[in-house]
Amino acid sequence: MTTEYRPIARRDFDTDRIKDAMSEIIEAVGEDAEREGLRQTPDRVARMYAEVFQGLQQDPVAVLQTGFEEGYDEMVVARDIAFFSMCEHHFLPFFGTIHIGYVPTGRIVGISKLARVVDILSRRPQVQERLTAQIANALVEGLDPMGVGVVVEAEHLCMMMRGVRKPGSKIITSVNRGVFRNDSRTRTEFLSLTGVSGR
């Protein structure tokens, strides 16, 4: 599974192509694409996809370049960052919260930058495991910290509204790098600060 997170779009976003494809889907499910309520749907879906998939055109590491030197070398934790992504297997949303921890080597970034990294990497066709790893990898490259921990808690509409139909069940994934991987005390401190442990 690739964890490449650089801008990965193979071409520019093509609004007309999505509109045509959406009209085809409407007809293919047995509906009438010219019906009043559906006539603007291909255009609306195309504009929505432009937003939902804009992360394909963006580089998460670039937003981490505007940090500041603080000489702070204790753990920083940002918890409960909301995210919305699209399962690449079904093109249905999965969504929830992300907790990020890192131990800086002096350079730190504002919480808004961490949220931007989450936005860029979640606004792509994704799987939760890869999203978790890509966030960790981008932070390692962008901040060069002592270590990084990322926990993603998500609900998947493709599990809730079809297939196994298990609403309310959450998938939790975590990736640890550096001291978060090598030092169990660091990992334990992170998990207790996120509130993931002891629940």
Closest contact distance (angstroms) between CB of 66 and Zn ion is 35
* Residue 157 interacting with Zn ion (CB under 5 A): no
Q: Does 87 bind Zn ion (CB under 5 A)?
A: yes
Q: Shortest CA distance to 153 belongs to which of 172, 137, 166?
A: 172
Burial of 85 (0-12, 13-18, 19+ CB in 10 A): buried
Stretch near Zn ion under the rule CB under 5 A, chosen from 9-17, 37-45, 67-75, 79-87: 79-87
Q: Is 76 a binder of Zn ion (CB under 5 A)?
A: no
Is 61 or 158 the residue whose CB approaches Zn ion more closely?
Answer: 158
| Token output for 117 | 């990294």
Query: CA-CA distance, 61 to 117, in Å (whole number)?
Result: 8
Known catalytic residues are 87-90, 128, 156, 158
Judged by beta carbon, residue 39 or residue 162, the one nearer Zn ion is: 162
Mark the segment that binds Zn ion (CB under 5 A) among 89-97, 104-112, 163-171, 174-182.
89-97
* Axis-axis angle for helices 41-52, 15-28 (nearest 10): 130
Scanning 7-15, 53-61, 88-96, 176-184 for contacts with Zn ion by CB under 5 A, the matching segment is: 88-96
**125 part of the interface to Zn ion, by CB under 5 A:** no
- Rounded to whole angstroms, the Cα distance separating 77 from 193 reads 7
Interaction of residue 61 with Zn ion, rule CB under 5 A: no
90 contributes a contact to Zn ion by CB under 5 A: yes
Residues 194 and 180: their CA atoms lie apart, in Å, by 14
Question: Binding string, 162-181, against Zn ion, x = CB under 5 A?
Answer: --------------------
Nearest alpha-carbon partner for 135 in 195, 183, 85: 85
The alpha carbon of residue 77 and the mean position of all alpha carbons in its chain are separated, in whole angstroms, by 17
The contact set with Zn ion (CB under 5 A) reads: 87, 89-90, 158
